[in-house]
């Protein structure tokens, strides 16, 4: 397992994410606004942005969307409004799902979660390969999603340790499922009864304020 992130890096990430969210709040906006604020109407299942956001390096891709709340979903957080899917991109553009981040109607994070392969059709990678990308997560975009991208990268770096545990728990849950249900990995990956293998709840912004203290400067 990779070494833990330095305390200074965690503090910078917490401060950066809080500042970006506070700036939006002072404008009367939430983290949802950069994704859906310019849309005439919000559509269930639609990706925001429509063709996903890809960072300038081409190594990361993400989007926000929401499921139909009328559909039963035991894996969904009861307060979830929608969620962000974050992917690691290969040089050929193949996507590996790093994590999902559920947001409430105010745009506040609720939990991270690790999906089953069928949910996004990803190229599956084991936890050790994915956790190496956590501390080095950098998302740089131009345009209206530039701030949201920086915020998301800060969130990944701040929650690096819980995300590592979540990814390893994902792999362990997959193996238990295969053993308990006499399934191959391929069968488990396609098993529609399992949408999420593991998750970790967050208390935002409380988690960050424990690191930075209650006084946050916008400068």
Q: How many CB atoms sit inside 10 A of residue 98's CB? A: 24
Specify if 43 maps to a domain. yes
150-189: pLDDT as tens digits:
999 999 999 999 999 999 999 999 999 999 999 999 999 9
Number of domains into which the chain is organized: 1
Specify if 76 maps to a domain. yes
Specify if 2 maps to a domain. no
Specify if 1 maps to a domain. no
Q: Give me the domain span that covers residue 80.
A: 7-211
Beta bridge mates, 100: 85, 113
19-49: pLDDT as tens digits:
999 999 999 999 999 998 877 678 889 999 9
44-75: pLDDT as tens digits:
899 999 999 999 999 999 999 998 876 666 56
Specify if 218 maps to a domain. no
Specify if 11 maps to a domain. yes
Specify if 65 maps to a domain. yes
Specify if 219 maps to a domain. no
CA torsion angle for 71, 76, 79, 84 (degrees, to 10)?
-110
Percent of the chain, pLDDT > 70?
A: 92
DSSP single-letter state for residue 40 = S
């Amino acid at each position: 397992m990779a070494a833990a992130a330095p305390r200074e890096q965690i503090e910078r990430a917490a401060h950066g994410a809080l500042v970006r969210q506070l700036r939006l709040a002072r404008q009367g906006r939430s983290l949802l606004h950069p994704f859906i604020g310019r849309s005439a109407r919000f559509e269930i299942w639609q990706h925001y942005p429509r063709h996903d956001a890809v960072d300038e390096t081409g190594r990361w891709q993400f989007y926000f969307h929401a499921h139909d709340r009328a559909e039963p979903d035991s894996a969904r957080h009861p307060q979830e409004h929608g969620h962000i899917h974050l992917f690691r991109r290969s040089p050929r553009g193949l996507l590996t799902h790093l994590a999902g981040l559920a947001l409430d109607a105010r745009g506040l994070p609720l939990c991270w979660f690790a999906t089953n392969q069928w949910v996004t059709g990803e190229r599956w990678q084991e936890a050790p390969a994915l956790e190496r990308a956590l501390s080095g997560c950098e998302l740089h975009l131009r345009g209206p999603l530039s701030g949201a991208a920086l915020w998301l990268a800060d969130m990944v770096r701040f929650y690096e340790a819980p995300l590592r545990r979540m990814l390893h728990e994902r792999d362990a849950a997959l193996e238990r499922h295969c053993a308990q249900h006499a399934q191959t990995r391929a069968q488990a990956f396609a098993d529609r009864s399992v949408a999420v293998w593991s998750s970790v709840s967050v208390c935002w912004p409380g988690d960050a304020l424990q690191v930075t203290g209650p006084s946050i400067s916008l400068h």
